[in-house]
Structure 1
Amino acid sequence: MITVFLLQHSYEWNENENTKIIGIYSSKEKVEAVIEKYKELPGFKEFPNDFYIDAYRVDENEWTEGFMFGLIYGN
């Protein structure tokens, strides 16, 4: 089974959530190297603790159940 790693940067500012997908990588070590570089870039360096890594298996469903539409929109 192949696992890939999704790197995102997400922070909240003035009650607005800001999320950026940085990339998808083949190893956690590669992700950690990218994070170290991005921590020096404008914007990212002001929020150095807001990087998130998620591991996903290729060809495998992540969302396996339905959802309640009415709960989202108040119906």
Structure 2
Amino acid sequence: MKHVYLLWYTYVDETLDGGEDVMLIGVYSSRELAEAALARTSKLRGFSDQIEGFEISPYEVDTDSWKAGFTIV
């Protein structure tokens, strides 16, 4: 299996619909590259105020992630 690593940042903002904003910072070919990106990004304005908002998640490529339909309510 081949994985990529997604670096996400989530922060709470009550003025937004749903109360939070989720940003995809980048997609990396290894966990090490994602961790290096986290280290760089966490020093930037805004991100440095709330570093607990970062998450690295592995994602399998060449696989259907949504295997069922959906219903609109």
Output the TM-score relative to the length of structure 1.
Answer: 0.80
Query: Which sections of structure 2, spanning at least 5 residues, go unmatched?
Result: none
Cα-to-partner distance string for 1:27-63 (whole Å, 9 max, x where unaligned): 1111111111111100100110101222111110111
The answer as to 2:71 corresponding to 1:68 is yes
Structure 2 letter corresponding to 1:14: E
Q: Which residue of 2 aligns with 1:8?
A: 8
Runs of 4 or more, structure 1, over 6 Å off, are: none
Amino acid at match of 1:22: I
Q: Following the alignment from structure 2 to structure 1, what is the Cα–Cα distance between the partners of residues 31 and 68?
A: 28
Amino acid at match of 1:7: L
Query: Which residue is equivalent to 1:45?
Result: 48
Q: Percent identity?
A: 36
Give, in angstroms, the shift of residue 15 of structure 1: 4.6
Of 22, 30, 35, which aligns to 1:32? Answer: 35
How many residue pairs end up in the alignment? 70
In structure 1, give the amino acid aligned to 2:9: H
- Residue 14 of structure 1: CA displacement? 2.5
Tell me how large the CA RMSD over aligned residues is.
1.3
Are positions 1:18 and 2:40 aligned together? no
